[in-house]
Amino acid sequence: MAEAVFHPPRRKRRVFESYEAPFPVDVGGKDFRICQAEIINNNVIVRNPEDIEQLYNKGYFGKGILSRSRPVFSISDPLLAAKWQGVNTNMPIITSRKYQRRVQWARSVLKEQGLDDSSVSQILDNYTKPLELEEGGAQQPGGSCNQTGPNTENPELSRECPADGGALSAEGGAGGSREGSCQECGVPVPCGCEEKQSPELRPWEGVEAKENAPEYVLVQEEEEGSSCPEGDSVNAQGNIAKEEKLVCRKNPFRIFEYLQLSLEEAFFLVYALGCLSIYYGEEPLSILKLWEVFTEVKPDFRTTYMAYHYFRSRGWVPKVGLKYGTDLLLYRKGPPFYHASYSVIAELVEDHFEGSLRRPLSWMSLSGLNRTTASASKELMLCYLIRPSDMTAEEMSSPECMRRIKVQELIVSRWVSSRERSEQDEF
């Protein structure tokens, strides 16, 4: 058997961030933080923005559900933000078409709750009415601005206190708000009144308070204005130009981005690092319960987690390798810094290498998978997790079984006859 040749990881040409830490824990333990996640539809979701930043910046765990990797989703249009860069605000700037699309989504949510068209129109008209701010530009939680033209050197701003709060969210509720009829305000739609929560729900109170707060956006709209001189009244009606302005309104349909952890990442944070608590309903799950639940959700979870735990403990950053047809992709430091070096297929076998494999590969499928991996400048690795033949099913029901597991790595490379002959001739 030929000896594998080590190829150093390929660093990305453009790196826009600095490396913080390999894990979301401090060595000294002074600022140790336990993050919180919850299981929703067999997925592990982190909702708290502080926890999201902690887990992703230190170790690159998970990915944003609305982003490619780092959770940085924003409804703001980058072209409009550059166009109106003179506006002193940090509110998102969107087009009128995008805003109307969110109004339609909110209308559909309200109709699903049994409201008639007139009630829906009245609710949306009151909620999406323009809001203004006083001169000075800095937005307040209860106001917004109405600006005309990209030139904001001398803006004319006024302030008007909004009388309503809350917004329709992507989860089908109103922005401040729980679903159903509100007993305090009498409106048969989600409202912004406070809801009494049980002590078990306290871990999510801070997140829900932020999600229930109304979101203000700047909408670029067009208005008709005269482009002729003031003294020219003859052609005043013929030269009408549309002038763009920014109008501040409430977003009637909010979309929140969360951090989605793979089952392997979530269990590693709970079992190996102890910096994550996973809730199902109102109570956190124990390590043994998570091992059982994740195995039911994903039958080959034990195999993939053992491989994940092995490579994580050796400094690699494993990510899901679904797009390359493998179990894991191995990165040095993290995806922002290096391209993936290896595509890994994990197999749990006995010490005599007997029995059926989890993923049997024919020579044709192995060759195709190897060519696909090589075309992406990666190497295919087979990771064999060898368990003793006397290990029982009861031992496998606990993550402590990994103490008796041995690992053997095998790198698959394509043998090219012409290249091998030329190398032999050189000797």
Q: What is the mean pLDDT of residues 406-414?
A: 90
Mean pLDDT, all residues of the chain? 80
424 compared with 45, residue with greater pLDDT: 45
Alpha carbon of residue 403 to chain centroid: 33
Residue 423's pLDDT is 58
Torsion from C-alpha of 221, 225, 228, 229, nearest 10 degrees: -110
**CATH code, residues 299-426:** 3.40.1350.10
Domains 34-70+257-298 and 299-426 share a fold: no
DSSP 122: H
User: What value, to the nearest 5°, has the Cα angle with vertex 396 and ends 393 and 400?
Assistant: 145
Q: Quick check: is 339 catalytic?
A: yes
- Asked whether the predicted pLDDT for residue 151 surpasses 50, the reply is no
What CATH class does 34-70+257-298 carry?
alpha beta
Distance, CA of 25 to CA of 253 (rounded, Å): 36
Which of 129, 280, 339, 384 is catalytic? The answer is 339
Highest-confidence segment of 20-24, 173-177, 299-303:
299-303
Residue 200's pLDDT is 45
Residue 353's pLDDT is 79
Closest CA to 76 of 172, 219, 243: 219
Which of 216, 331, 338, 342 is catalytic? The answer is 331
Which of 63, 250, 309, 378 is catalytic? The answer is 378
Which range (209-218, 236-245, 297-306) has the least confidence?
236-245
Looking at the chain, the whole-number percentage of residues with pLDDT higher than 70 is 73
Closest CA to 390 of 401, 380, 376, 377: 401
Amino acid at 334: G
Q: What is the mean pLDDT of residues 135-162?
A: 40
- Asked whether the predicted pLDDT for residue 156 surpasses 90, the reply is no
> Measuring CA to CA, how many Å separate 332 from each of 281, 311, 398?
36, 11, 30
Looking at the chain, the whole-number percentage of residues with pLDDT higher than 90 is 52
* Tokens found for residue 247: 């109008």
* Residue located via tokens 């179990």: 327
Spell out the long-range contacts of 366-373 with Cβ–Cβ below 8 A and sequence spacing 24 or more. 366/412, 367/414, 369/325, 369/326, 370/412, 370/413, 370/414, 371/414, 372/324, 372/325, 373/324, 373/326, 373/343
Closest CA to 278 of 290, 295, 262: 290
Please list, in sequence order, all residues whose beta carbon lies within 8 angstroms of the beta carbon of residue 313, skipping any fewer than 6 positions away. 272
Beta bridge partners of 348: 385
CB-neighbour burial class of residue 411 (10 A; exposed 0-12, middle 13-18, buried 19+): middle
Residue 188's pLDDT is 36
Please list, in sequence order, all residues whose beta carbon lies within 8 angstroms of the beta carbon of residue 117, skipping any fewer than 6 positions away. 111
- pTM here is 0.77
DSSP 13: S
> Measuring CA to CA, how many Å separate 21 from each of 27, 55, 314?
10, 10, 14
Q: What is the mean pLDDT of residues 96-100?
A: 94
Give the CA radius of gyration of the chain.
Answer: 28
Q: What is the mean pLDDT of residues 127-151?
A: 56
Give tens-digit pLDDT for 237-262: 555 557 888 999 999 999 999 999 99
User: What value, to the nearest 5°, has the Cα angle with vertex 92 and ends 90 and 98?
Assistant: 170
pLDDT band at 48 (very low <50, low <70, confident <90, very high): very high
Give the residue extent of every domain in the chain. 34-70+257-298, 74-130+216-223+243-255, 299-426
Residue 28's pLDDT is 61
